[in-house]
Amino acid sequence: MQQIIDRRLAGKNKSIGNRERFLRRHKEQIREAVKRAIDGRGIRDIERGEDIHIPKKDLSEPVFGHGQGGVREVVHPGNKDFVRGDRIERPKGGQGGGGGKGQASDQGEGEDDFVFALSKEEFMQVFFEDLALPHLIRTQLAEVPEWKSHRAGYSSDGTPNNLHVVRSMRGALGRRIALGMGKRRDLAELEERLAVCISALQPGDVVAEAEIDDLKERIALLKLRIERIPYLDPIDLRYRSRIRVPVPTSKAVMFCLMDVSGSMDEARKELSKRFFILLYLFLTRHYEKIELVFIRHHTQAQEVDEENFFHARETGGTVVSSALVLMEEIIRARYNPSEWNIYGAQASDGDNWHHDSGRCRELLNDKLLPLVRYFAYVQVAEEEQNLWEEYTQLLDAHKHFAMRKATEPSQIYPVFRDLFKKEGAKAA
């Protein structure tokens, strides 16, 4: 028997469907593995794939087995200890197999884990699966609307790159058949008459010979007319037609505010960066039409680019209100709240100049929260300092304001998911 093994890669989508079904079936185990992987990764390693371990027992499926049937007697050579009817016990003391993940087991049974690799895209898809920007709505159709191209059948005029060859040739064939059908029918009749005249021709019959010459002349003329039917005519050409229709655009902007003052040691800055990198990856993967504004502050606030926001090093005092003031100025100058969905996320250790924390609360309450759809504050320190106390007063009055604490890298992931989970979804 010849056995054929297909070792081609999945580039032709041969096994994509099976893989997708497998991922859906073991969704919970994969989600837990992704959560554990994120907790143990560094900032630069967040966006990469992962090896997922699933216990073999979780992969078992019911199967049908065929017994040998009938009454069978088997003789085992060398049997000195057992007689018919004795039951042989399973060996104990680790003789049954290895433990999970290749480790030794003290039980009689053991199973290896099933290990498979999640690609980078699959890993990030599971990671951000049930997250969304809260209260994202379509504010309005922009004054300069976006246009999307839609197929609208075929037209008889267009550019050569839109020519549909199959439809054009189909039309040309139909036209040639329609125009030549009558001529071909007449041609068949004339050829039939010619055959009859030739078969009935008698020597010296001048009338019959004249008729035959006339038939041949008419047949030649009809063939010439049939050949003159153009193979492809301009009226046969068909072009793909596309029309542009306006589509509603939901424009959103996210403000990322991070404290880089002297009270923020490297560990706290790493926690803040981890939070914002998760936020950055989440936004750029799920929203095509979203803008990001990065603001770093100590005593003074500054709008910076992505590179400086995550990697530049600065120290100094702390005046948190400077970042909030700059955020309001940027909103007034570039992002009209009637046209944009505005979001804010702030990370700090809560330490602030004591006369400034009250002003921060007032700025949020009076200036920013009326303009934004959602504002999230993450404190990367356990101590409830004056800024935390001031912000707490905003919770009851503003449902679109949220605040959480995260003091260890393992807490960033649950806090992030809690802040940006989809409506109706359970927090991690």
Q: Residue 250: is its pLDDT beyond 60? A: yes
Which run of H or E residues covers position 73?
A: none
Task: Choose among 53, 155, 145: nearest CA to 99.
Answer: 53
Tens digit of each residue's pLDDT (9 = 90 or more) over 377-427: 999 888 777 888 899 999 998 988 989 888 887 787 788 878 777 654 454
Superfamily of 252-420 according to CATH: von Willebrand factor, type A domain (3.40.50.410)
Q: How confident is the model at residue 249 (pLDDT cuts 50, 70, 90)?
A: low
Of the listed ranges 128-142, 200-214, 358-372, the least confidently predicted one is: 128-142
Is 146:182 a contact under the CB 8 Å cutoff?
Answer: no
Q: Which two tokens stand for residue 71?
A: 């009454």
The C-alpha atoms of residue 281 and residue 256 are separated, in whole angstroms, by: 13
**Which of 274, 270, 255 lies closest to 414, judged by CA?**
274
Burial of 268 (0-12, 13-18, 19+ CB in 10 A): buried
Per-residue pLDDT tens digits for 374-383: 898 999 888 7
Separation between Cα atoms, residue 361 and residue 350, nearest integer Å: 13
Q: Please report the sign of the dihedral spanned by the C-alpha atoms of residue 35, residue 36, residue 39, residue 42.
A: negative
More confident residue, 148 or 15: 148
Q: What is the pTM of this model?
A: 0.52
Query: Which range is least confidently modeled, 56-70, 147-161, 198-212, 321-335?
Result: 56-70
- Give me the chain's average pLDDT, please: 75
Query: Given a cut of 60, is residue 158 above it in pLDDT?
Result: yes
What would the two tokens of residue 224 be?
A: 């010439």
In the chain, where the domains are located: 19-55+114-127, 160-240, 252-420
Q: Which residues contact 358 (CB under 8 A, 6 or more apart)?
A: 390
- Cα separation, 320 vs 317, in Å, equals 10
How far is Cα 9 from Cα 16, in angstroms, rounded to an integer?
11
Name the residue type at position 104: A
pLDDT of 328 strictly over 90: yes
Alpha-carbon distances of 259 from 80, 249, 278, 390, 418, rounded to whole Å: 80, 33, 17, 17, 22
Segment 206-238, tens digit of pLDDT: 777 888 888 888 888 888 888 878 878 888 888
Residue 148 clears pLDDT 80, i.e. is over it: no
Q: What is the mean pLDDT of residues 104-131?
A: 57
* 46-55, 95-104, 220-229, 274-283: the lowest-pLDDT one: 95-104
Per-residue pLDDT for 109 more than 60? no
Percentage of residues of the chain with pLDDT beyond 70: 67
Max avg pLDDT among 208-212, 309-313, 325-329 = 325-329
Give the CA distances from residue 52 to residues 19, 36, 113, in Å, rounded to whole numbers and listed in that order: 14, 10, 9
Tokens representing 146 are 């976006």
- CA 332, CA 398: separation in Å to the nearest integer? 21
